[in-house]
Amino acid sequence: MTPKTKLRFATPYSKIVKAIIALFFLINSIPFVHAQSAGNTSKPGVFYAVTRPGSKDTSYLFGTYHLIKSSYMKNLPNVQKALQKSHGVITEIVLDSSKIQLAQTMGMLKGKTLTGMLNKSLTDSLETELKQSLGIGLAQLDQFKPANITLTLSMVYLIKNNKAMLDKYTGQPLDIYFTDFGKSNHKTLTPLETIEGQMDMLFNHTSEDQQIKELQYFLKNKSEMIAIGDQMMAGWLNNDLAQLNTLYQKSLTLSGEADYLLKDRNLKWMDSLPALLRKDRQFIGVGALHLAGEYGLVALLRAKGFTLTPLKL
């Protein structure tokens, strides 16, 4: 590999690792669409007050987009106020830098190579795709699990297509900002998952044969998946949770069921969230798609007797 090739790959990949750890939604390649006003609360959005009968305490639920940096918070004054008022901060994970290396290795093959698992047609298609998108060949990623390749390509397109918007904002990813704000302001931090658990879900939940099929599907249907991502980003920026859910359901008709990404995790989170909300005033910041649909946190918390009221951002 030439020094020039290394540079082309190293810059986006450092961002990809952070994106994988943060985890918004695995199939999106989402270019920027300018947001309209997010003040309309007549439709379900990504920010809610959470209350329960007999209590004056208000907690808050916010659906994030993980790659957005913390300077974007100037566009979210009510979210910032909610974070400040809360006694506890609940996020998907609390990032432990000492475990990042372990998390990365979970996406790597052991005792085999990717080229040894793929047929010639798929190998040739992937070689072409990697050279076009990353400027490197398959040999340089031969230890990546198939799911890691799919996710890497998704994130590369997301970063490239959104460069102007992503570069516009500085600071930390929103989720890390929330946890760091909690630490510095002596709030209770509660992770819903571990980084190891998220990486295990990403790279070990499905068999390697199934991961190869999903990689092949991505390569054949890349344009359509990117188009869905375009609209999904617009939905988040426009504070439109219904649109996000519609697009997610559409993506499932294309790529197949993926309950383990959202539904199963939400149900597991509900084992602890109600008690946490009854105990103290909490700020919950998780990926926006976790709020949407029949098994979204909004519906699940309402089913437990909580009142969720859409708020202006």
Place of tokens 């379900």: 44
Q: Summarize pLDDT for 22-75 with one digit per residue, the tens.
A: 333 333 333 222 333 344 445 789 999 999 988 889 999 999 987 789 999 999
DSSP string, 79-142: HHHHHHH-SEEEES----GGGHHHHHHTTB-SSS-STTTS-HHHHHHHHHHHHHHTSS-GGGGT
Q: Summarize pLDDT for 70-122 with one digit per residue, the tens.
A: 999 999 999 999 999 999 999 999 988 778 888 888 999 999 999 999 999 99
For the ranges 147-151, 228-232, 269-273, the lowest mean pLDDT is seen at 228-232
Confidence category of residue 257, pLDDT binned at 50, 70, 90: low
User: What mean pLDDT is predicted for residues 7-33?
Assistant: 36
Domain ranges of the chain: 3-23+40-310
| Mean pLDDT (the chain, rounded) | 84
Q: Which of 96-100, 235-239, 251-255, 287-291 has the highest mean pLDDT?
A: 287-291
Cα separation, 64 vs 290, in Å, equals 9
Retrieve residue 278's tokens. Answer: 């009854």
Q: What is the DSSP letter of 172?
A: S
Cα separation, 313 vs 311, in Å, equals 6
pLDDT of residue 231: 78
Q: Summarize pLDDT for 162-206 with one digit per residue, the tens.
A: 788 888 999 999 999 999 999 999 999 999 999 889 899 989 999
Residue type, 257: E
Q: Does 248 score more than 90 pLDDT? A: no
User: What mean pLDDT is predicted for residues 239-256?
Assistant: 84
